[in-house]
Amino acid sequence: MENDKSATAAFTGHRDYDGRCDEALKGAIHDLYNEGYRTFMSGMAVGFDLAAAEAVLSLRNELPGIRLACIIPFEGQEQRFGDNDAERFRRITGAADDIVTLSDRYTPYAYARRNDFLADNSSAVIAYCSGRRSGTEYTVRRASRQSSRIINLYGEQQSSFDF
């Protein structure tokens, strides 16, 4: 995957995401696109990551040149999903512009390595982060320490959670 970090945004969010901010998600993608962002990376986890990837794909006709990069922590990740999410995963990866698989098998550090990749290869992060200790919170903090722009769509919590 060729990567211009200054034009690349990443998604990170909780697995219990229920679609409550889908319109705000599309709005954030639009805003970053209008600022010159063209590549959007999804870590392809159940919940917010899959929803964000689907949002990018749904905007392709409207936003010329937008690209989706799927950052998969290990080969066969989707085999750990339920049937519906595994099908979503396959549909998304089938339509993606880039697929980066970081390991050929699961390891205890697979998800952390994926989170580091997302934070280290982007200059903006669109998050759905409650602030509770999690991989999402870790990714947001790592990106924030690198001076990445953080857009948190979590709602009321965003004003009280200091990255």
pLDDT digits (tens, 9 = 90+) for 89-135: 999 999 999 999 999 999 999 999 999 999 999 999 999 999 889 99
**Global confidence as pTM:** 0.94
| pLDDT class of 162 with cuts at 50, 70, 90 | low
* Residues 98, 103, 104, 108, Cα dihedral to 10°: -140
**Helix residue ranges per DSSP H, the chain:** 22-34, 48-58, 83-95, 110-120, 135-145, 157-160
Range with the lowest mean pLDDT among 37-41, 49-53, 127-131? Answer: 127-131
Count of beta carbons in the 10 Å neighbourhood of residue 155? 12
162 CB-near residues (< 8 Å, 6+ apart): none
Question: Domain 5-157 is in which class?
Answer: alpha beta
Count of beta carbons in the 10 Å neighbourhood of residue 105? 8
Residues 26-37 have pLDDT tens digits of: 999 999 999 999
